[in-house]
Chains A and B, each alone.
Chain A
């Protein structure tokens, strides 16, 4: 079974702090994704990566950056946290085999910025 692990289930940070959200997958998947989920807006794609050291912007990249130094790890960075970044953050992975491959999600990090 694919396991996608997010380092924290709940996180509380102050405005202006630099925040790191870590995600690790154990199935050698090429693709990794970061989404945020907000009521009424659904899941929105922040950044994704198809390979090590490769990244692409999603729909809402502003205020975020990412790092993929190793295949199994994809980090989301909030350079200077703001209250409108309070949200549920979901990491996901999938193999490279095609667009039909399902996403495997981690169990999420609920971030509160005060």
Chain B
């Protein structure tokens, strides 16, 4: 089983739609969680960290469910510029301290 699993998509949504992605992680020792965004043929960039209480940044909302070991990303009022691959990322405080990436969920926002 992969340590971080995501639905690869693609999610094809119209402009203005609300879309949500989930990501599950297998290691209960995971302590830090992030969403990164990767545009086609570009490097990944941090979109937002995910806090235990949930957090919001403009149209983006991230939530963490430790009991079920998943994190989610909600995008409201989708824009064409939101089209990208969204990578779920976790970090463990025990053992190897390095980020583990999911393989990404591709979002295509259509006019």
- Which of A's residues lie within 8 Å of B, judged by CB? 33, 35, 40-45, 48, 56, 58, 90, 99-100, 102-103, 105-108
Top 5 A-B pairs, shortest CB-CB distance: A42-B103, A105-B43, A102-B46, A43-B101, A99-B91
Question: Taking CB as reference atom, which chain A residue is nearest B101?
Answer: A43
Can you add 19 more A-B contacts, CB < 8 Å, to A42-B102, A90-B43, A99-B97? Answer: A33-B98, A41-B103, A42-B4, A42-B103, A43-B44, A43-B87, A44-B101, A45-B100, A48-B98, A58-B96, A90-B44, A99-B31, A102-B46, A103-B44, A103-B99, A105-B43, A105-B44, A106-B43, A107-B43
Given the complex of chains A and B, what is the CA–CA distance between A43 and B6 in angstroms?
13
Does any Cβ of A come within 8 Å of B32's Cβ?
A: yes
For this complex, into which size category does the number of interface residues on chain B fall?
20 to 34
Q: How far is the CB of B12 from chain A (nearest CB, A)?
A: 19
